[in-house]
Structure 1
Amino acid sequence: MSGTRTAPFPGANGAQIQIAPRLHVSRWIVGLIAVAVVLWAVSIVIFNENIRWNRVWEYLFSKTILDGVLVTIWVSIAATIVGLVLGVILAVMKLSKNPVLRWIAEGYIWFFRGTPVLVQLIFWFNLAFLLPYITLKIPFTEIGMRWDTNQLISGSVAALLGLGLNLAAYFAETVRAGIQAVDRGQREAALAGGMTHRQTMQLIVLPQALRIIIPPTGNEFISMLKTTSLIVVVAGNDLMTNASRIYKQNNLIIELLIVASLWYMFMTAVATYLQSRLERRFGEERVHLVRGPGFSQRLLKVATGAIMLPRNGKKNKELTEV
């Protein structure tokens, strides 16, 4: 608050009372101390004679580093897709009335959330010790295929399995929370209106749940970009792996770590921007839906035959935009 403000009532002599704003000295002191600490820390890095900045710029756009950046991006995207698809399946299983499916989903979530990602990565990379060969056969026949596990499970494949399967356990809880956030009365009304459980989930519940699921999905993807640095233990050719290979040869450890950090911060900034745009888009859709016809009106159209339920895999446009 700046300047002065006038009291709503006059003083004893009829003049307006001028009230000066309170000066928060402690806020300024704390702020100045914080700025001083940040500048001191930055100056240590920028003006440190032991850091050869010319080598940082030399490796920042080197082919090896750029190849690692591309691997980091595709592993992050692929692991997020695997985790999201499997997470939706696990969430539906956990909400199922079938106790066997529910126990399997709960066991999966408990196991993968209870063990560190690093342990899972190392396990998948060394799967050949447990299964030297992976065989797929048609039951009761000799027809099948066989692969050598060491050749099949490369560092990148182990990274995709470890990160994707681990992320699925967290996505399962996110999707479950999104599904349960949809009003139960809407599901009951849809079932009463003649929809099957599958149609209710596909046309009524999931479209609304996605608007709740999308924001944390963006957060998980941003976290995944940095979690891929753990791939270094399985030599997955990602950004951190390639940076470590370079500094093991020339001993420029700090310089290559700065290069990797700059790229991680850049990718995180881009992902954060895209996430904000996506959240804004879903926010606009939510406002549009509120202004549109209500759920009961759409359900009434279904009951009266004004809108036909989808058949043979064809979706009705109005129902899908719940």
Structure 2
Amino acid sequence: MPDSANRLGYVHSRLVRHSAESAAAIPDFGAEGDRIVILAGDRVLLSGDTALLTPAEASRAGVPGLTLFLGRLDGAPVFAAALPAEVAEAYDAEPPFRSNDLRSLAGEGRIAAHELGLLATAKSLLGWHARHGFCANCGTPTTLAAGGYRRECAACGTHHFPRTDPVVIMLITRGEACLLGRSPRFNEGMYSCLAGFLEPGETIEDAVRRETFEEVGLTIGAVRYHASQPWPFPASLMIGCVAEALDDAITIDPVELADARWFTRAEAAAMLEARHPEGFTAPPPLAIANLLVRAFVDGRV
């Protein structure tokens, strides 16, 4: 596996999800060997260089009632819980805990890579429960089931399952150049791959072609899958593709993009290394866009 793939955020996880266990086997949190991850808004509580807290540490943190059973790590049960967002600052000022947001944790590399994947699962699940307390079929409050991987409606019997939103993210190539764009919300000078959500009844390839045409007016021919990445903001799956443009005349959608342009391999390499003469940069290694651009620079796409 290329080194750039090893640096991708949230893709590594040693969690054995509890779907292989029966509902009767789901444990309650509190045994000595149990571990729990606690989120306060977008921030994660840390003890030293780990987000896996012991029951004693969780007790000091004041874990609320909603506790999810994620599965097992090296045979030990692992849980997740959420605290109010405003609590995070108080823990930063009062050892033994500190907190950090999930993006920064992925960029800094201070905790084990496999914990990031586990935290991505926790954040996505906790966020889904916070937003889906009522049945979409009849409006009745739902209850947690299957350790947190399902919610059930006692009134109409409907089962609700956590959703993952698929997003295509594509590096557009034409000959020895690649196309990168700037969203208005990006940091100054940063360019990235185009991206967009899949729509119902749409293939990955057609989503790449539609999004590219909508954003920059290019017609796309061949589309190839390259890699994927969970993106827990709040619960997406980034599907990385490489696509071949059949023309090179760019027509920007100003609502979606502030700019888009073609870059040579040498320019893309300079952007990855933050040495482009105009100050242009690429996304950091934790993002799949970096992986796609690096693959282009290295001649692997």
TM-score w.r.t. structure 1 length?
Answer: 0.23
Give the strand-richer structure, 1 or 2: 2
Give the helix-richer structure, 1 or 2: 1
TM-score w.r.t. structure 2 length?
Answer: 0.25
The structure, 1 or 2, with the larger RCO (C-alpha pairs under 8 Å, 6+ apart) is 1
Pick the structure with greater CA Rg. Answer: 1
